[in-house]
Each structure stands twice: as structure tokens, then as C-alpha cells.
Amino acid sequence: MPDKLHPLALGHRLWAMAMEPTLAHLMRVKSKLTGSTKVPSTVPVKHNRDYPLYDWMTRHNAVLEYNKTHKSDLVWIGDSIAHRFGGPPTDETPPTGQKVWERYYGHRNAVDLGFGYDRTENVLWRIEQGGLDGINPKVVVILIGTNNLSIGSAIEAGLGVYAVVNAVHEKLPQAKILLLGVLPRGEKPDDPIRTKVEELNSTLSALQMDNVTYLDAGKGLVSEDGRISTDMMPDFLHPTEKAYEVIAQNVEKILKGWFPK
């Protein structure tokens, strides 16, 4: 409450979360909350931040239409790092890794459900609103959480990622899930955000769940001195085409065992 009276977006969300269990009971529907995860990262919410490169809701609707007419054996779901990989359905976002995508996933009926600037709660909303309906993929690759670290703790981000994994598993129980660790970010090894990434990935790597495999896909993105070079990540967050090649090679170590040649 910047004026100590009127809530901003986060204030409204916390207010709604406080009311939601009672409203769900009165409406005789399942609550979105549980006693152990009353944190914003686990509550489905529509994207409510400005992102100049594309229209979030238009992309969501494009995904729904794409899924009606295309077979998808492989799904990537996540934030801008997945989005900029450049797989279909494409939009005006710069497809930095599109050549890499085509080389590794073009023959696998792959769909790119990355949305720029998404946090776990936005992915949960997309899944809840039909983002995975009508498809029956063999594999779902999840890469989400880095934007949660920009506003909250590694613990809260981890709870959000767990919620996404559970939502995907409930929607697509037969699919194998490849859970990727959040990519390293921040130029230097002692950058505070780098420390949070390592803490989050330590939590994710310990996740024990049927059909879920964890992978540190960021190996090779950091130099021997612990720094991230601009030829890998110009802003120390988003991969270049060279970095996407490294990521794809790491992921391929798992995928090649799950897809027939």
C-alpha cells in the first residue's frame, strides 16, 4: 500500500488469497490454496506486467488455437528463455535460438509454450486456462523460476516450480517431465542473484516424483573463473544462439533416450 490505504497488485493478490478458501467453500469448488503453500508463486494468476515485445493474452489464445490443430510430442513451457528459443507458435518476440530449435526439435512435433517475463504463477494460470488441453505429448520440458527470484526468495520460487510440476503431471499424467534447473545469471559468481539460483536449483534437484527427471541444463554457460561472458548472455540472463546450442546439447543427453530415432 504505497499510500498506506490502496493496495497495489501484490496487495490485491494477498487479499484475494486470504478470501479464496472461504469463497471456494461457499461456491463448493476446490480451493486453489493448501495450508502449506499460501504463497503468491503457487497461486494461478494472469500476467499483469507490461512487456513491450508481445501481447501476453494474444499469445495465450494463439497457443490454444495451435494446440487444436497440431500434434505435439514435445512441449517446452516456461518464461522468456523458452520463448526466445523461437519454436511455434511464433510471434514478434526475437527468436534468438530458432535455428537451434529447428535443428534439435523441428522433427519432434515440438511446441514452444514459453512466455516472456512469466513467473510460476503465470504458468499455473495458463495451464489452468487450457494451455495444455487437447495435446498428448511424450515429454514436457519445464524451465521456469528465474523471474520469481527477482522478487522473492528461493524457497518461494521453489514452491512455485513444484506447483507447476504438479500441475503438468495432473494434466498430462503419462508424459515424462524434464525439469531444468534455472540457468545461471548475474555476471560474477558472487552476484546475489547467482546465489539464489544455486539455492533454488539445489532444492529442485532433490525433487522426487514419478516421471520427473531433473537436469542442470546450464552447464557450460559459465567460464572457468565463474563469470558469464556476453557471448553467452549479453545481459547475463538471456541466452545467445551459442548459449542455446549449449542448452540443447545438454537437454539432448536426456531426450535422445526418450525419443525413437
22 and 51: one domain? no
Distance (Å, whole) CA 249 – CA 100: 10
26 and 50: one domain? no
63 and 170: one domain? yes
Is 39 among the domain residues?
no
Q: Exposure of 147 by Cβ count < 10 A (0-12 exposed, 13-18 middle, 19+ buried)?
A: buried
118 and 94: one domain? yes
Q: Comparing C-alpha atoms, which of 256, 257, 239, 255 is closest to residue 247?
A: 239
Is 36 among the domain residues?
no
What is the predicted pLDDT for the residue at 34? 66
Distance (Å, whole) CA 178 – CA 75: 10
Domain that holds residue 242: 44-258
pLDDT above 70 for 18 = yes
Distance (Å, whole) CA 223 – CA 231: 11
Alpha-carbon separation of residue 80 from 84, 192, 207, 253 (angstroms): 6, 21, 24, 23
Is 226 among the domain residues?
yes
Is 202 among the domain residues?
yes
Question: Which positions are catalytic?
Answer: 80, 235, 238
pLDDT above 90 for 116 = yes
What is the predicted pLDDT for the residue at 10? 76
What is the predicted pLDDT for the residue at 35? 62
Task: Give the count of domains, the chain.
Answer: 2
